[in-house]
């Protein structure tokens, strides 16, 4: 199992963004237990699917303003209805991970902790690199990527954006879209291995 603990950065200086985040995270694929506020400006959820964890972590990185901790390991079953009432090694690891993420002074505040320490460190390195690609993507790059991810062909994307198909191709190349898509499954495999 995977437990994600997500903490708002700089919440003492700004508004509480947790309600907005909880709405955004509701009904995400792969959720075993939906996200809930645990304490203060922190939320926690449980997922079983590593691909869903990768997507969710990278969406949070793109959104910005959150420290993300991923714990990969066993949980005490049966899981209660609320993640706040649950326990197990994955929860302990997620707590350690979010604390590590909060202390990071880099552009991608995320950390992974797992039963398999080496696989967790590898997963963290790959996710951090992917996150760094995302935070440097231009608005034009995001337009092209979002349209292609929604299933549109480059010709349709070009028409919608009012640019040439070549311009869409250039935007996708500059956004490292192909590399992003090739590496996500690697991150998911490493997360799966991190469960031990």
pLDDT at position 65? 92
122 and 189 Cβ atoms separated by less than 8 Å: no
DSSP state of 44: E
The stretch 105-116 carries a mean pLDDT of: 92
Q: What number of other Cβ atoms are within 10 A of residue 178's Cβ?
A: 10
Instruction: Tell me the pLDDT tens digit for each residue of 51-64.
Output: 999 999 999 999 99
Quick one: pLDDT at residue 11? 67
User: What percentage of the chain exceeds 90 in pLDDT?
Assistant: 84
Q: Any idea which architecture 2-136+184-194 has in CATH?
A: 2-Layer Sandwich (3.30)
**What digits encode the pLDDT tens for the residues 117-152?**
999 999 999 999 999 999 999 999 999 999 999 888
> Mean of the per-residue pLDDT values for the chain?
94
**Residue 28: in which H helix or E strand, if any?**
none
Sign of CA dihedral 185, 3, 73, 108: positive
How buried is 52 (Cβ within 10 angstroms: 0-12 exposed, 13-18 middle, 19+ buried)?
middle
**Token pair of 173, please?**
């190349």
Domain ranges of the chain: 2-136+184-194, 139-174
Query: 3-class DSSP state for residue 145?
Result: helix
pTM of the model: 0.93
Q: What pLDDT is attached to residue 37?
A: 95
């Amino acid at each position: 199992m995977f437990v994600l603990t997500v903490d708002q950065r700089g919440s003492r200086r700004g508004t509480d963004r947790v309600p907005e985040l909880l709405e955004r995270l509701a009904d995400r694929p792969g959720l075993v237990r939906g996200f809930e506020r645990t304490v203060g400006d922190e939320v926690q959820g449980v997922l079983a699917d590593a691909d869903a964890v990768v997507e969710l972590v990278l969406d949070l990185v793109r959104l910005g303003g959150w420290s993300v901790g991923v714990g990969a390991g066993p949980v005490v079953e049966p899981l209660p209805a609320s993640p706040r009432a649950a326990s197990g090694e994955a929860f302990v690891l997620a707590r350690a991970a979010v604390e590590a993420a909060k202390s990071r002074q880099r552009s991608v505040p995320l950390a992974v902790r797992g039963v398999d320490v080496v696989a967790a460190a590898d997963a963290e390195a790959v996710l951090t690199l992917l996150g760094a690609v995302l935070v440097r993507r231009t608005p034009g790059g995001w337009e092209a990527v979002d349209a292609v991810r929604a299933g549109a062909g480059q010709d349709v994307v070009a028409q919608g954006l009012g640019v040439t198909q070549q311009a869409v191709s250039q935007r996708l190349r500059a956004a490292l879209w192909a590399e992003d898509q090739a590496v996500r499954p690697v991150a998911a495999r490493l997360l799966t291995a991190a469960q031990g």
